[in-house]
Amino acid sequence: MVVSLLRGPRRLLLVTFLVTSFFLILALRHREYLLGSPSPAPAPVTEPGTFAPNHGDIAEPQSLELEKQGQKQEQEEKEEEEEEQNEEDYEHISSPERPTSQVPKPQKSAEAKPDTEPEVENERELELVVASVKAENTSWIPALLPDWHANIYVADDAKAALTVPANKGREAMVYLTYIIDRYADLPENVLFVHASRFAWHNDDPDYDALPTLRSFRLPHLRTEGYVNLRCVWVIGCPGEIHPAQDAAHKDDADKVQAKHIYKQAFEELLPGVTVPEVVGVSCCSQFGVTRETIRSRPREDYIRYRDWLLGTPLDDALNGRVFEFAWHIIFGKEAVYCPSAAECYCNVFGLCDIPCNDDYSCAGRYTLPPYSTLPKGWPLVGWDQESRNFSGPL
């Protein structure tokens, strides 16, 4: 029956059409089984501000998975290389030992301050503060003390790198300005000195400041907190000023020595402190002080002292001399600070074997010169223009 139906030409054409259509439909629906893996479908286009749909349950083609695995591996290798480079950089700039943590961090020392506190400690062991004017030659300091950190103030030069608000009060203005400006950044020890290498008051046989600085013993300063650079008692010790007595006789007093105005100045500078009966300290405002001693007083005290200098009507020679006989009190010593010359030379300069007959002086160390100005040609030429056997560097 079926064979007979297929034998007709028209019927045969119809059957052929139907069979062909069937296979076409089947191919379109199941092309992955007939042709293999298809090419990836284009990514859906999204409008700005919209998100592409997440086809979480549709497996991605194998080629895409391989591509993503390759990209992931490449990214991991790149991150490992960057991490190794960071570790090498840290070892170069920080420490020869590699940190155990994966992300290297600089390690703080046990003495480091918290990050919230300002850094105020100066690790320098010693600084020199020099009070000078333009006419003085300070070139000897960097030439002969090249390793010393010297702060050379020029009091009468407003354009100098280090200067003062006003050229008043002699070295006192310089010393106070340094303390005020550097209060939060002080070195461990400070030596306050004058500018001239050779000066009548320097405690040395040649009146030379260089050997006194070179032989100064820092351990003794650390112990004492304040140390005078002059050991001989001539001028200042054992008692230079009697404040109450000198004030009562101010009309007859030597107007250069400031004795007659010391009591009033002391009361203004140190209110609430009992004025001492006697004040004694070897002259002449050259001394060493530790950082802790300076900071035993608040910075405001030193500002007040300098304001007093700036505002006082006293002559420059007088207001500076007040401080000459007040520094040791400001820095915590008794009003009479006069250690024996033998003790001082040994402790301050390490000169422990020189003969000393009394508390005042030791043989061969210091002789009060006939004039405050040394002769021209000193130290090679003496007072009578004689040649001197000076052996120090020039």
String of DSSP letters for 59-99:
PPPHHHHHHHHHHHHHHHHHHHHHHHHHHHHHHHHT-SSPP
pLDDT confidence of residue 110: 33
Q: What is the DSSP string of 179-221?
A: HHHHGGG--SEEEEEES-SB-TTSSSTT-BHHHHHHT--HHHH
Cβ atoms of residues 352 and 345 within 8 Å: yes
Q: What is the mean pLDDT of the chain?
A: 80
Predicted confidence band of residue 104 (pLDDT cuts 50, 70, 90): very low
Confidence band for 57, pLDDT divided at 50, 70 and 90: very low
Q: By C-alpha distance, which of 336, 345, 371, 362 is closest to 240?
A: 336
Percentage of the chain surpassing pLDDT 70? Answer: 68
What is the pLDDT at residue 249?
A: 85
Nearest to 216 by CA among 365, 61, 351: 351
Distance, CA of 277 to CA of 388 (rounded, Å): 44
Residue with tokens 């090498």: 88
Binned at pLDDT 50, 70 and 90, residue 252 comes out as low
Strands 226-228 and 287-290: antiparallel
Give the residue among 265, 330, 262 at the shortest CA–CA distance from 302.
Answer: 330
Question: Please, are residues 379 and 208 in contact by the beta-carbon 8 Å criterion?
Answer: yes
pLDDT band (50, 70, 90) for residue 65 = very low
pLDDT tens-digit profile of 335-353?
A: 999 999 999 999 999 999 9
Choose the weakest-confidence range: 85-94, 220-229, 305-314. 85-94
Q: Is the pLDDT of residue 367 over 60?
A: yes
Q: Which of 334, 352, 355 is nearest to 344 (CA)?
A: 352
Residue 70: pLDDT above 90? no
Q: Residue 288's pLDDT band (boundaries 50, 70, 90)?
A: very high
Between CA 4 and CA 256 the distance in angstroms is: 154
Alpha-carbon distance values, 380 to 116, 135, 195, 370, 377 (Å): 57, 22, 20, 17, 6
Q: Which residue has the higher pLDDT, 84 or 332?
A: 332
Q: Which of 166, 182, 171, 168 is nearest to 131 (CA)?
A: 171
DSSP-based three-state secondary structure for 264: helix
pLDDT of residue 88: 40
Distances (CA, A) of 103 to 61, 81, 88: 38, 14, 12
Contact 203, 366 (CB under 8 A): yes
First to last CA, the chain: 141
Contact 131, 170 (CB under 8 A): yes
Which pLDDT belongs to residue 80?
A: 52
Instruction: Read off the pLDDT band of 1 (50, 70, 90).
Output: very low
Taking CA 379 as the corner, what is the angle to CA 377 and CA 381, rounded to the nearest 5 degrees? 50
The Cα–Cα gap between 306 and 164 comes to 10
Is residue 172 within 8 Å of 165, Cβ to Cβ? no
Two tokens at 129?
Answer: 């503060």
pLDDT of residue 320: 94
| Axis crossing angle, helix 299-311 with helix 259-269, rounded to the nearest 10 | 140
pTM: predicted TM-score of the whole model, two decimal places: 0.70
DSSP 305-342: HHHHHHH--S-HHHHHHHHHTTHHHHTT--SEE---HH
